[in-house]
Every structure is written in C-alpha cells, then in structure tokens.
Amino acid sequence: MTKRFLTFAGIAVFALALTNCKDKAKEAETTAAEETAEMTAVSTKYLADAANSTIMWKGFKPTGTHTGTISIENGVLTMKGDAIESGTFLIDMNSITVTDIPAEKEGNAKLTGHLKSDDFFHVEQYPSSAFTVTGFEMKDGKGMLSGNLKMKDAENNITIPVTITENGDTVTLTSETFTIDRSKWNVKYGSKSFFDDLGDKFINDEFELQITLVANKES
C-alpha cells in the first residue's frame, strides 16, 4: 500500500509540474542589451500614472503557483503618431505583494519577505528595476515592444506583444502575459540553472508577467 501510494504521489507531482509548464505563457524573446531609443522633436510626451499602473506576476513550482503584483514607480513614454518611440520606467521592487495567500496569514509576510531578500530580488541593494524602450514595430498585426530590462546586477533586452489604447490625453499600454527566465538576471534561489541537487524542491526559472501602464500627456 505504501509503495503504491508513493508511486501515485510521485506521478501526481510530476503531472502537476507538466501542467504548470504547459499553462505558462510564451517566453519573451531575450537577447543582449541594446542601444536605447531617443525622443525626437515631433513626438508627444506622456508621464506614467503610477497609481493606475501595475505589473502582475505568477511564479511556478512543482507543487503549485504563487501570484502577486509589483508597482511602477515612475516613467516617461513618448509617442510618434500611434507608435511608441521611446520611454523609461522604474519598477519599485519594494512594492512586491503576494495575492494568493490572504494578507493576514503568516505565510503571506513570509513569502513577501523571502522574495525581497537576497535569495531572490535583494531589494535592499536593488530597490528599483528599470525598463528602457529600444524599439517598437508592428508584426503580423501585433505591436511588438522591445526594451532593456535591468534587474539586480543584470540587463537583457526583451520583446513583448502589447496593445496601445489612446483615450484623449491618456495612453494605456497593455502587454500580453509573457514569461521571462529569472536565471538570466541572476535570481538564483531554487533554480536548476545554478544548482543540480534540488530534486523536486526547485522553483521554475520562468515566471509570468503582465503589464498595464497608464500614462497621461504632459501638460
């Protein structure tokens, strides 16, 4: 009975891991950092509305998932016609929250503190991350935004699909859900890219992000 139970449990964990992998969004194309885009005289400048902008995240491990949010600290976006021309946004890493565990539960504070520790994002040393636009193009009818994402002590260029909505003096940029590989930004805890003795105690390198950025025309 015990042997059968252990076999079944092992299969269940493996199946859950496969399901989690299957359910993850497509990984953003990631390359070396590139030269950033510059504002021109004919572009229109917008300032990020931090209170109405957010980043949602989702992390995966064999036994399940965790979700949460991160706030945008400030930023500038320039538009040339209906296309993104340039921009830089700071991400407040101290604002990391966990949403799948009730706020009053001990586990919420424990996980939030661990994510902020030097095991993960080391927010005491790296309180902000940054995204700087390097390019924008329409591809197969879809807007593709490229930019350098600097997180901790590493910087890589990522390309993500986005939708741009203009409403009067407000522009809303909404990304599709995408994944990035945290190991490329030296976030090492529980990563099989850095440790080979984790067994089923690993945490997936890929985690999901979904960005909603609201920006208002500079007056």
Residues 6+ apart with CB under 8 A from 182: 191, 205, 206, 207
Residue 104, number of CB atoms within 10 A of its CB: 7
Residue 207 has pLDDT above 80, yes or no: yes
- What are the extents of the domains in the chain? 2-217
> Does the domain spanning 2-217 belong to CATH 3.40.50.1820?
no
Region 115-119: what's the mean pLDDT?
Answer: 96
CB burial of residue 38 (10 Å; 0-12, 13-18, 19+): exposed
Q: What confidence score (pLDDT) does residue 55 get?
A: 98
> Which tens digits make up the pLDDT trace of 130-187?
999 999 999 988 999 999 999 999 999 999 999 999 999 999 999 999 999 999 999 9
CA angle 24, 74, 170 (to 5 degrees): 85
CA distance 209 to 133: 17
Are 24 and 179 contacting, i.e. CB atoms less than 8 angstroms apart? yes
Indicate the pTM of the whole model. 0.86
The SS3 call for residue 31 is strand
Residue-wise DSSP of 137-201:
EEETTEEEEEEEEEETTEEEEEEEEEEEEEETTEEEEEEPPEEEEGGGGT--TT-TTT-S--TT-
Residue 26 has pLDDT above 50, yes or no: yes
Region 112-129: what's the mean pLDDT?
Answer: 97
Which contiguous run of DSSP H or E holds residue 22?
Answer: helix 2-23
Residue 1 has pLDDT above 80, yes or no: no
Residue 19 has pLDDT above 80, yes or no: no
> Which tens digits make up the pLDDT trace of 78-107?
999 989 999 999 999 999 999 999 999 999
Residue 208 has pLDDT above 50, yes or no: yes
> Which tens digits make up the pLDDT trace of 34-55?
999 998 988 999 999 999 999 9
Q: If pLDDT is split at 50, 70 and 90, which confidence band does 18 have? A: very low
Q: If pLDDT is split at 50, 70 and 90, which confidence band does 63 have? A: confident
Residues 6+ apart with CB under 8 A from 145: 84, 133, 135, 136, 159, 160, 161, 162, 173, 175
